[in-house]
Amino acid sequence: MSLTGLILYGALPLLTLAMLFAFIRLVRGPSLPDRVIALDLIATMAIGFTAVYAIARNQPALLDVAIVLALLSFLGTVAFASYLEKRI
Protein backbone atom coordinates (compact mmCIF):
# COMPACT_ATOMS: atom_id res chain seq x y z
CA MET A 1 0.00 0.00 0.00
CA SER A 2 1.29 3.44 -0.85
CA LEU A 3 1.74 6.35 1.51
CA THR A 4 -1.34 8.04 0.07
CA GLY A 5 -3.42 4.97 0.84
CA LEU A 6 -2.13 4.84 4.39
CA ILE A 7 -2.96 8.49 4.92
CA LEU A 8 -6.45 8.09 3.46
CA TYR A 9 -7.23 5.00 5.52
CA GLY A 10 -5.72 6.66 8.59
CA ALA A 11 -8.02 9.66 8.20
CA LEU A 12 -11.20 7.59 8.29
CA PRO A 13 -10.85 6.40 11.92
CA LEU A 14 -9.84 9.89 13.01
CA LEU A 15 -12.94 11.37 11.39
CA THR A 16 -15.05 8.71 13.07
CA LEU A 17 -13.54 9.56 16.45
CA ALA A 18 -14.17 13.25 15.87
CA MET A 19 -17.79 12.48 14.97
CA LEU A 20 -18.14 10.60 18.24
CA PHE A 21 -16.90 13.62 20.21
CA ALA A 22 -19.25 15.91 18.28
CA PHE A 23 -22.12 13.53 19.02
CA ILE A 24 -21.31 13.73 22.73
CA ARG A 25 -21.46 17.53 22.46
CA LEU A 26 -24.78 17.18 20.63
CA VAL A 27 -26.23 15.14 23.47
CA ARG A 28 -24.72 17.16 26.34
CA GLY A 29 -25.00 20.62 24.77
CA PRO A 30 -26.38 23.04 27.33
CA SER A 31 -28.25 25.18 24.81
CA LEU A 32 -29.95 24.86 21.45
CA PRO A 33 -27.25 26.78 19.50
CA ASP A 34 -24.58 24.43 20.92
CA ARG A 35 -26.53 21.44 19.68
CA VAL A 36 -27.10 22.94 16.25
CA ILE A 37 -23.39 23.73 15.87
CA ALA A 38 -22.53 20.16 16.93
CA LEU A 39 -24.98 18.81 14.35
CA ASP A 40 -23.44 21.05 11.70
CA LEU A 41 -19.99 19.81 12.70
CA ILE A 42 -21.17 16.20 12.36
CA ALA A 43 -22.51 16.96 8.89
CA THR A 44 -19.22 18.59 7.92
CA MET A 45 -17.27 15.58 9.12
CA ALA A 46 -19.64 13.27 7.26
CA ILE A 47 -18.86 15.26 4.11
CA GLY A 48 -15.14 14.83 4.78
CA PHE A 49 -15.60 11.13 5.51
CA THR A 50 -17.50 10.64 2.25
CA ALA A 51 -14.89 12.57 0.26
CA VAL A 52 -11.97 10.66 1.76
CA TYR A 53 -13.73 7.35 1.15
CA ALA A 54 -14.49 8.34 -2.46
CA ILE A 55 -10.84 9.20 -3.06
CA ALA A 56 -9.58 6.05 -1.34
CA ARG A 57 -11.91 3.76 -3.31
CA ASN A 58 -11.65 5.75 -6.55
CA GLN A 59 -15.43 6.25 -6.76
CA PRO A 60 -16.09 9.80 -7.97
CA ALA A 61 -19.87 9.29 -7.79
CA LEU A 62 -19.65 9.53 -4.00
CA LEU A 63 -18.37 13.09 -4.32
CA ASP A 64 -21.83 14.03 -5.63
CA VAL A 65 -23.28 12.68 -2.40
CA ALA A 66 -20.84 14.85 -0.43
CA ILE A 67 -21.85 17.94 -2.42
CA VAL A 68 -25.57 17.33 -1.80
CA LEU A 69 -24.91 16.79 1.90
CA ALA A 70 -22.95 20.05 2.02
CA LEU A 71 -25.81 21.95 0.38
CA LEU A 72 -28.37 20.50 2.78
CA SER A 73 -26.16 21.27 5.76
CA PHE A 74 -25.70 24.85 4.59
CA LEU A 75 -29.43 25.34 4.12
CA GLY A 76 -30.11 23.95 7.58
CA THR A 77 -27.59 26.32 9.14
CA VAL A 78 -29.07 29.31 7.32
CA ALA A 79 -32.59 28.28 8.39
CA PHE A 80 -31.52 28.02 12.02
CA ALA A 81 -29.79 31.40 11.88
CA SER A 82 -32.96 32.92 10.45
CA TYR A 83 -34.99 31.29 13.24
CA LEU A 84 -32.67 32.71 15.90
CA GLU A 85 -32.80 36.17 14.34
CA LYS A 86 -36.60 36.21 14.39
CA ARG A 87 -36.75 34.81 17.93
CA ILE A 88 -34.64 37.59 19.44
Q: CA angle at residue 85 from 81 to 87, to 5 degrees?
A: 115
| CA dist list (Å): 54 to 9, 26, 39, 42, 51 | 11, 27, 22, 18, 5
> What pLDDT does 2 receive?
85
Cα(60)–Cα(12) distance, rounded to whole angstroms?
17
pTM of the model: 0.87
What's the total number of domains in the chain? 1
- Residue range of the domain that includes 83: 3-87
pLDDT digits (tens, 9 = 90+) for 11-65: 999 999 999 999 999 999 899 889 999 999 999 999 999 999 999 899 999 999 9
